[in-house]
Structures are given as structure tokens and as C-alpha cells.
Chains A and B, each alone.
Chain A
Amino acid sequence: GAGVSQTPSNKVTEKGKYVELRCDPISGHTALYWYRQSLGQGPEFLIYFQGTGAADDSGLPNDRFFAVRPEGSVSTLKIQRTERGDSAVYLCASSPLERSPLHFGNGTRLTVT
């Protein structure tokens, strides 16, 4: 079946602009995660959704970052007033249950110029 889909695969934006990154999880997976990965580093946790609600948003670096999952499937990560330090690959993952292995998408590479 289809895996986790992330769009766009690449996004280049200017400093100060607003961006939205989309994640389409595997159908039926109630748990959805956002991670951020910088070059040479492992994925860094941002936020976890169980259904429609954010169960844990402790990894969001500041209030410029926000994520939603209004119907319990597709999720959007929103970044306001982007900064060059936001440049990274943003990974989305889903799983059928909390504590199950994660199924990752291939990420959105965000470049802030």
C-alpha cells in the first residue's frame, strides 16, 4: 500500500516568509509525528499527534512553529517568519499505535535563503 507522503519534497523560501509543509500518513494510522533532521544529525522530535490532538508538542523550538491535524489524517506543519536556522529536512512519520515502529516519509527539504 501507499506509504507516508510528504509535499513538497523541496521548498526554498526567503527569510521572513511563511511556509506550510504537508504530511499524508498511512491510512488508519492514528499516531503522527514530525521530526526535523539537520545534516549529519539524527531526527529531532518536534510534535506528536494522537488522532486530531497534539499529545506532545514539547519539541517545537518556539512559537513560530505550529502543526495541525484537523481530521485525524493529513497534518500540516506551519512555520512563520522563517529564519536561516530553520533550514533542515522535515520528516513526518506515522504508526498504528503509540510505541509501534514508525513509518517515515522521505521528508521536505526546507532551505531558507
Chain B
Amino acid sequence: SQQGEEDPQALSIQEGENATMNCSYKTSINNLQWYRQNSGRGLVHLILIRSNEREKHSGRLRVTLDTSKKSSSLLITASRAADTASYFCATDAAGANSKLTFGKGITLSVRP
């Protein structure tokens, strides 16, 4: 079964707006990560949040984690056309022997 499920599946916004993407998961985790994939490229790591953390920032990215609800959100502020990509959350399940489990991803389109 799928561990990480992102929501929405597709998001289209105007440049300068904020983009919020959500991820839900099922099992206990060590950490949760967000990755970005530009078309035809590999996934690029964006940010990692540990299970004992609630919020983390990196540049225009803000990630929150709610372990009681088994959910995370990724906020991209002041979006740019270059943020157009697919975004994936990945969970490192507790006791899972270092295997990341990914979801289907969210397709973000930022209109110039």
C-alpha cells in the first residue's frame, strides 16, 4: 500500500502566489522528506524534517509535520515559474531499514 499520499494531485498558481502541498502517511516514521522532480530529470532533495520536529524552513520552503495526524505540508512562498515541477513526499519508516517510501507526487504549475 502507498505510504505517502500527496494532495492535491495537481496545482496551478500564478507567479508570486504561495503553493501549499500536503502529504499523508500511514505508519510511524523516523523522518519525512520532500523532493522535487523537473521534467526528464532525477528527483532532487529539498528538505528533511525529523519526527520530533514540527516545522522547518529552508529559503522559500516551509515544511510542517504533524505526527498525531500523520501528515505534512510543504509551503513554497512567492512562487516562481522555475518552481514548476513535480513534488514528492517520502517517508523513512521507523525500523524500516533505511528505505524511503514515495507517493504519486503533486504536479505544480506556476504561470508567469
Q: Is B one of A's binding partners? A: no
B contact residues vs A (CB 8 Å cutoff): none
A contact residues vs B (CB 8 Å cutoff): none
